[in-house]
Amino acid sequence: MCGIIGCTGRAEDTLDVLLSGLEGLEYRGYDSAGVALANGSLEICKRQGELDRLQQAVGNSLRGPVGIGHTRWSTHGPPTDANAHPHTDCTGNVAVVHNGIIENYDELKAELHARGHEFESDTDTEVVPHLIEAALAEGASFEAAFREAVSRLEGSYALAAVTADTEAILATRHDSPLVLGVGDDAAYLASDVPAFLEYTDRVVYLEDDDFARLESGAWTVTDADGQLLDKSVSRVEWDAEETAKSGYDHYMLKEIHEQPRALRKCLRGRVDELTGSIQVDSLEGLSPSSVQFVACGTSYHAALYGAQTLRDAGIPAQAFLASEYATAPAPVGDDALVVGVTQSGETADTLSALREAQRRGVETLAMTNVVGSTATRECDRTLLIRAGPEIGVAATKTFSSQVVACNLLAATIADRGDSREIVEALRDLPGQVQELLDASRAESVAKRFVDSEGYFFIGRGHHHPVALEGALKMKEITYKHAEGFPAGELKHGPLALVTDQTPVFAVVTGDGEEATKTVGNVKEVEARDAPVVAVTDGASDASRYAEAVLEIPETHPQVAPVLANVQLQLVAYHVANELGRSIDKPRNLAKSVTVE
């Protein structure tokens, strides 16, 4: 949650860099935003609301060679101008931006208040500039004061601080991401790479308890004891165009349409069509006796799919909500593998679950989208999904790529007899997604049912996670009530909620036993006058009982969920668009959840 940007060495256009960086970080929070520039004094502007309010307020009035900025997702205190970052000390000489939660801020605030410090916000962050102020008053240098303040903190944090009379940014992290950008004559700091990608693709990933100093385009990183660290500079493969809307009305729609390319990238170099085999270098030699997936939100639905796929292949597998696993881990046997599914590689609950697994000596695998993320650095192995940057808060292309990555994992560690059929289906998948995108009737279905009281989604087997994901997308961006269920469970209680104002989206593919039973559940819904939307390949007679049909191409039953999910993504998008919702930035949500 929250986004941090910092810049040194840009002279007259520091403000432009900060505002541009905040635009690239809005998916991390958009309750309020602010900037602070240092130029012999501190110039600060911050506003409640989305970034355009800050842009209007600040104009071109702030100048300085050093600056920091912040976009907020509220944890302590409501979205107000006073609670927006940056926060300052009593003198107005120190400004700080923060991502995370300072758990002992009440204690620190009481101590500082007793020493005469005055506070203006409800936030936990505000204690930090006052701690720095207190150390400066005792004669400490800016860097020593910053380190002293950080040593007092408990919890998670990414911090950046500036003072009026020092042309430098000081920063550190603990359980919250922070990355440096290395330019020819400038240095950058951000919560995520897209914030400065238009200026440089050279990055340095900070580890927990690293301290960074940026000044006049130069940078150094030291450890908690002040010892200089030799940090490697990496190049990011993403380009700035990938983080632009490219003519689409919303990032979400762009990212839905990017799925064919994302899937091709996920499969490239890993699938051998001639031999019908799959080989992933990072998984070489992996042969677990059982697998546990840990994940949150959309990634949890991909984990449910992955667990089902592994069980079908004869590997004992379960999926757990990471927030539950971290506090009550499930028993694991010898040679087990714990897989953390996380788009950003920074999801706090998932990282906690992976660390718990490591404490028990279990091998860990990060299934993620971000090279150099905390999950990739801490886990024993990494399986990159290669979806490219995803800016819209509601995950779309990353879910599809996670599902495909689960197939790569299953094919690598399990001995299946139908590997050639799966390889062929994966080969055809990007083209089939494109075919679906070109012909989908999702917009007309959305317009037909936009005024419904609620929405239900049902599916069996591999389609159960798709039903859950379809409901989540609808909830996230339309603010309408939506629920997903295993198809057979609808009659065990939820059927009481079904009316002629609650369309039921039924995912039915193939003509086997699962399809037959799901069609039976569709009949139960239809008998109660609820409209049915069949998401189907036409192999069953589900469409006979449906008021609307969303067609998908025929494919291997293990791959069909990706196609069905794309149709449901489009339905949610078009319902939200008809309702005029803030699709890319839905209320109360942020893209990367870095607090527990």
Q: Hey, which residues are catalytic here?
A: 2, 591
State the Cα–Cα distance between residues 100 and 124, nearest whole angstrom: 9
CA distances from 362 to 215, 310, 334, 347, 355 (A): 42, 18, 8, 20, 10
Tell which residue, 384, 317, 328, has the closest CA to residue 357: 328
CA angle 503/505/509 to nearest 5° reads 155
Number of CB atoms found within 10 A of residue 433's CB: 26
State the Cα–Cα distance between residues 463 and 535, nearest whole angstrom: 10
Torsion from C-alpha of 7, 8, 11, 13, nearest 10 degrees: -10
Supply the DSSP symbol for 303: H
Tell which residue, 452, 537, 562, 552, has the closest CA to residue 501: 452
State the Cα–Cα distance between residues 409 and 194, nearest whole angstrom: 29
Q: Identify the bridge partners of residue 457 per DSSP, sorted by sequence position.
A: 484, 505
Q: Between β-strands 218-222 and 211-215, what pairing exists: parallel, antiparallel or unpaired?
A: antiparallel
Sequence-separated (6 or more) residues with CB below 8 Å from residue 107? none
> Residue 388, Cα to own-chain centre: how many angstroms?
12
Instruction: Please spell the DSSP secondary structure of 56-116, one letter per residue.
Output: HHHTT----SEEEEEEE--SSS-S-TTTSSPEE-TTS-EEEEEEEEETTHHHHHHHHHHTT
Sequence-separated (6 or more) residues with CB below 8 Å from residue 361? none
Tokens of 400: 């599809």
Contact present, 1 and 176 (Cβ < 8 Å): no
Tell which residue, 354, 359, 352, 347, has the closest CA to residue 293: 354
Tell which residue, 571, 535, 570, 569, has the closest CA to residue 552: 535
Supply the DSSP symbol for 559: T
Residue 401, amino acid: S
Torsion from C-alpha of 318, 473, 249, 426, nearest 10 degrees: 40
Sequence-ordered strand ranges (E) for 110-165: 155-163
**Dihedral sign of CA atoms 404, 407, 412, 417 in order:** negative
CA distance from start to end of the chain: 10
State the Cα–Cα distance between residues 404 and 109, nearest whole angstrom: 49
